Amino acid sequence: MSQTRSIAFTKMNGLGNDFVVIDARRERLALAEEDVRALAARDHAATKGCDQLLILHPPQNAGRDKGDVFMQIFNADGSEVEACGNGARAVAAYLASLGTPEPVIETLGGTLQAHAPRREERSGGIIQFPGIIMPTPRFAWRDIPLAEEMPDTSQVTLHPDLPPAFMVNVGNPHGVIFVDGGTGGLAAQYGFELEKNRLLPEGANINFAACKGDNIIELDTWERGAGLTQACGTGACATAVAAFHLGKIDNHNNEFRIEPPCARDPKLKDNSDRAGIHQDNLLEILVDYDGHSLAQQGPVEFEFEAEFEAGAAS
């Protein structure tokens, strides 16, 4: 009979984009793809499922680049990815609760500096608002990456029936497609197909965005390896970057207000059984971008703490 051990975790979310956070800094933990998929399944008895699984390890960098923690990120399909903006805010709030208010978080996509979260008590519980300084956006075709050399990655055709995509890497690859009149249903209709486009050798997160004026952008994101999610922090950042460089909104005001799906659907906002989506929450991600420096801020909630059983070999 194989031995098992109990693994403690913390369930968190940012705007309904939910995470299982496992602190493995003291005891090594390695999970196979099938283990991640099982933990992310919505019928899992302990975790209740998640969009991403975040494992915290000791820092891997040396010298001045050394952080407080290395955040390993898995999507619900078991794939490991480079970055997760909402997840970084969740980990920042988690580490702040343990006495590190402004942690430096290492990821495969770059090192992130977190700012101490602001705390607010709402009817739905304590909401925290951490800030994250993101990696400098990259636009070169090799850095995104794209499968073909392209001198201009701001107008990449991924589908003949859609406007061109602004391609950018903000720690992970994103395509941002601006549409007129609203984003309704486009991510669900085209997301999976575009994620697997031949021009995207590593896949990409696909964002459909609509500018509403006053630096407010409506955003729906199809996340690579996770599908439709209630919010995407790196997607919000990529969309603000794209809007800035394409001149979609007022470039003299560097703060962008990104509205995820739950901000626009009264039924979802008022009646959702997903934590993080309720009328008393601030249903937006704030992104500050000046053409070089990129930062984001948004709400994070602690849902519950529990344990699951894992094989001793994990």
DSSP sequence for 210-251? EEEETTEEEEEEEETTTEE-S--HHHHHHHHHHHHHHT-S-T
Burial level of 38, CB count in 10 A (0-12/13-18/19+)? Answer: middle
Q: Which two tokens stand for residue 247?
A: 């001149």
Residues carrying an active site annotation: 84, 232
Pick from 199, 209, 192, 207: nearest CA to 157: 199
Per-residue pLDDT of the chain (314 residues; tens, 9 = 90+): 356 889 999 999 998 899 999 999 999 999 999 999 999 999 999 999 999 999 999 999 888 889 999 999 999 999 999 999 999 999 999 999 999 999 999 999 999 999 988 887 766 667 788 999 999 999 999 999 999 999 999 999 999 999 999 999 999 999 999 999 889 899 999 999 999 999 999 999 999 999 998 889 999 999 999 999 889 999 999 999 999 999 987 756 789 999 988 777 655 555 455 566 555 555 689 999 988 899 999 999 999 999 998 864 34
Cα separation, 181 vs 203, whole angstroms = 27
Going from the C-alpha of 79 to that of each of 64, 76, 144, 188, 226, the distances in angstroms are: 30, 7, 18, 20, 9
User: Beta-strand (E) ranges in the chain?
Assistant: 4-14, 17-23, 52-57, 69-75, 80-81, 104-107, 110-122, 125-133, 166-169, 173-178, 205-213, 216-223, 227-228, 255-259, 285-289, 294-297, 301-311
Cα separation, 300 vs 94, whole angstroms = 10
Cα separation, 185 vs 190, whole angstroms = 9
Pick from 32, 27, 50: nearest CA to 306: 50
Cα separation, 267 vs 42, whole angstroms = 21
- Every domain of the chain and the residues it spans: 4-134+300-311, 166-296
Pick from 199, 129, 143: nearest CA to 171: 143
Radius of gyration of the chain (CA): 19
- Structural contact between residues 18 and 75, judged by C-beta atoms closer than 8 angstroms: no
Cα separation, 78 vs 289, whole angstroms = 32
Q: Spell 170-201 as b/e; 16+ CB within 10 A means b.
A: bbbbbbbbbbeeebbebbeebbeebbebebbe
Q: Which two tokens stand for residue 33?
A: 């793809």
The confidence score (pLDDT) of residue 119 equals 82
Sole residue written with tokens 């984001």: 296
The confidence score (pLDDT) of residue 283 equals 61
Q: Which architecture, in CATH terms, is 166-296?
A: Roll (3.10)
Q: Which architecture, in CATH terms, is 4-134+300-311?
A: Roll (3.10)
